[in-house]
Amino acid sequence: MAERIPREFDTRVKAERPKQWLPPTALPDPTPEPGYSFRWIRVSTLGTGDPGNVSGKLREGWEPVKASEHPEIQTMGRAGTFPDSIEIGGLLLCKTPSELVDQRNTYYQRMADGQMQSVDNNFMRSNDARMPLFKERRSEVSFGRGS
């Protein structure tokens, strides 16, 4: 019979999974700041500037992030419309207070809810008691043989 090793001497080496290479992300994430949300804003496409998009986002409350505020993001410095900013591939890193983002999301959620209510009202307008319509928004998936 084989000699058993006492449990205190039996060690299990924790095997680490081999590290897997991943391609670098095209847009790095900045270090989070409490109370602020970040977003990459399109400044140009294929070398052609997009001032309409930039001015619209600036009017919404987004402001360019200064490169000096986030030294962890390495960029090649270039003098453009926004000096000392972080721009990668025609995208400019901007930030805004999180409460403005929440207000914007609430506004668009209300718009979407109103549109769905309008669609429901239009759909239910053709309801007939002899053959009622259902506006159930749930789908089911069943498996197995059909009847």
Q: What are the pLDDT digits (tens) for 37-61?
A: 999 999 888 888 888 999 999 999 9
| 2 within 8 A of 15, measured Cβ to Cβ | no
In this prediction, residue 76 carries a pLDDT of 60
Residue 68, in any domain of the structure: yes
How does pLDDT run across 53-106, given as a tens digit for each residue? 999 999 999 999 988 888 888 766 555 677 888 888 888 999 999 999 999 999
CA pair distance 7, 125, nearest whole angstrom = 75
Residue 134, in any domain of the structure: no
Q: Which of 24, 51, 42, 38 is CA-nearest to residue 89?
A: 42
Q: Output the pTM of the full model.
A: 0.62
Residue 11, in any domain of the structure: no
In this prediction, residue 127 carries a pLDDT of 73
What is the residue type of 101?
V
Residue 81, in any domain of the structure: yes
Domains: count for the chain: 1
Residue 64, in any domain of the structure: yes
Residue 59, in any domain of the structure: yes
Residue 142 has pLDDT above 80, yes or no: no
Give CA separation, 66 vs 11, 46, 96, in Å.
52, 24, 13
How does pLDDT run across 102-120, given as a tens digit for each residue? 999 999 999 999 998 888 8
| 94 within 8 A of 33, measured Cβ to Cβ | no
Domain with 56 in it:
36-97
Sign (positive or negative) of CA dihedral 41, 44, 49, 53: negative
Residue 120, in any domain of the structure: no
In this prediction, residue 143 carries a pLDDT of 78
